[in-house]
């Protein structure tokens, strides 16, 4: 009777969690023999070595304690089956793996605290039962890792996940899912293997598919002054501060829209400004901390305005040590009256008029002329060199003393000058057109 009572006391200690290995180590049953001791135990046996033999209603309360490997804590588990209790057993610590290769799968109660892998080249639909329902209450948690190219989409029943109806898990991504017994939350992150090596290029990301890639340009949408916004679906980034880049930066917006459209290249400094957009500068060059007072704007096709900071302003002044036109003409006139010079679309240059047109006219064809052009024309004798007009310029006064020098101008076509007496050598001139 005494031994049976001692056995009952030990069972009570086990139930209370009191008879731990640390506490029971070194404790012995009383000496002597009697009935009620676990199988293999006798009076004087170590308590820690005899615990594994206790039974209740035919079930082992604690199986024999593991003896190896040293230093590894084991878990005492019991998995019910068929509505009945099952003998407990010691289990190695770890995660249960569930490998799925189909295109559909429903998370099961046996996935609790386990890892499910999905592997299929097509889209994978993963269903998740409603949080808080049978077998999915008590803070259900699980993990899912997608190891193939098919996009896995987790869809809870009734419940939400991260506040949404679905959660995608792209190839190379893993998702740890946990429940508050009403809805689900998940931490979904990519493995380092999905990131490409982009070197100096920007890293791009498509949120709908979870695909990373290297971009040739960085797309930025400018909505308000000094503010950049981010739109995940289109890969547009945002920043409340200044944008600093040594590579290419493309600001979104078609040329016909009112949003910025600037392409800045860190290697050569080229800047293209779109409709109603302004490249702004402030005192010190920092538009973040100062009000812009200078700006380059697109006024119209082929026309850039220098202003005081506002779009389309032309109230500014260009100041430089020198000025150079985009094209420069160096052409000789035909031996006729009028003598005709072909200067294409040059707004400045040098030309000669044949002596054949003496006291007549000389016409310079250039599309740079407009109806409101201001054309400056000067006779000279210094432009006859081999790298210039390659003629011997007339050194006499060839200007008509009775008529204006500028006789006519035709928009987008030409201007015509009156000549005085020109003998032997052609008359040489320089011109500049200001529109």
The pLDDT tens digits of the residues spanning 273-320 come to 555 566 666 665 444 445 677 777 777 777 788 887 666 678 888 888
Residue 399 tokens read as 């200007």
Question: In this structure, is the dihedral angle defined by the CA atoms of residues 83, 84, 85 and 87, taken in order, positive or negative?
Answer: negative
Q: Pseudo-torsion of CA 195, 200, 202, 206, nearest 10°?
A: -30
Mean pLDDT, range 97-112, rounded to an integer = 96
Contacts of 231 (CB under 8 A, 6+ apart): 221
CA–CA gap between residue 127 and residue 122 (Å, rounded): 16
Please choose, from the candidates 249, 253, 257, 211, the residue with its C-alpha nearest in 3D space to the C-alpha of residue 232.
Answer: 211
Instruction: Give the pLDDT confidence of 359-399 residue by residue, as tens digits.
Output: 999 999 999 999 999 999 999 999 998 889 999 999 999 99
- Most confident stretch, 15-19, 61-65, 388-392: 388-392
Percent of the chain with pLDDT over 70: 67
Q: Supply the mean pLDDT for the chain.
A: 78
CA–CA gap between residue 369 and residue 280 (Å, rounded): 31
């Amino acid at each position: 009777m005494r031994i049976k009572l001692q056995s009952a006391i030990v069972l009570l200690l086990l139930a209370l969690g009191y008879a731990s290995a640390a506490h029971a180590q070194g404790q012995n049953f009383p000496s002597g023999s009697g009935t009620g001791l676990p199988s293999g135990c006798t009076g004087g046996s170590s308590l820690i070595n005899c615990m594994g033999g206790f039974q209740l209603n035919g079930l082992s309360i604690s199986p024999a304690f593991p003896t190896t490997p040293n230093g590894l804590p084991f878990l005492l588990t019991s998995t019910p089956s068929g509505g009945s209790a099952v003998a407990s057993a010691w289990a190695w610590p770890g995660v249960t793996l569930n490998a799925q290769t189909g295109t559909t799968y429903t998370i099961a109660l046996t996935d609790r605290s386990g890892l499910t892998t999905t592997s299929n080249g097509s889209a994978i639909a993963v269903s998740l039962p409603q949080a808080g329902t049978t077998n999915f209450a008590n803070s259900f948690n699980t993990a899912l890792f997608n190891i193939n190219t098919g996009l896995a989409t987790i869809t809870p029943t009734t419940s939400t996940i991260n506040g949404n109806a679905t959660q995608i898990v792209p190839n190379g991504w893993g998702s740890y899912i946990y429940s508050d017994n009403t809805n689900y939350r998940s931490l979904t992150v990519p493995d380092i293997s999905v990131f490409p090596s982009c070197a100096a290029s920007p890293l791009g990301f498509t949120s709908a598919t979870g695909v990373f890639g290297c971009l040739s340009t960085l797309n930025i949408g400018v909505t308000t002054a000094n503010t950049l916004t981010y739109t995940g679906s289109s890969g547009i980034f945002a920043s409340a501060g200044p944008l600093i880049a040594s590579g290419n930066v493309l600001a979104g917006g078609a040329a016909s829209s009112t949003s910025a459209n600037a392409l800045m290249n860190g290697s050569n400094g080229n800047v293209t400004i779109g409709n109603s957009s302004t490249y702004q500068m402030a005192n010190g060059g920092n538009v973040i901390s100062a009000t812009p007072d200078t700006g380059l704007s697109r006024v119209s096709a082929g026309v850039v305005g220098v202003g005081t900071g506002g779009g389309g302003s032309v109230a500014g002044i260009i100041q430089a040590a020198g000025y150079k036109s985009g094209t420069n003409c160096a052409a000789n006139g035909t031996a006729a009256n009028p003598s005709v010079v072909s200067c294409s679309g040059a707004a400045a240059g040098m030309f000669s008029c044949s002596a054949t047109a003496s006291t007549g006219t000389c016409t310079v064809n250039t599309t740079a002329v407009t109806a409101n052009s201001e054309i400056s024309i000067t006779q000279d004798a210094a432009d006859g060199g081999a790298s210039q007009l390659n003629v011997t310029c007339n050194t006499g006064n060839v200007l008509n003393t009775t008529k204006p020098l500028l006789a006519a101008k035709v928009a987008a076509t030409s201007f015509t000058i009156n000549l005085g007496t020109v003998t032997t050598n052609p008359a040489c001139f320089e011109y500049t057109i200001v529109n």
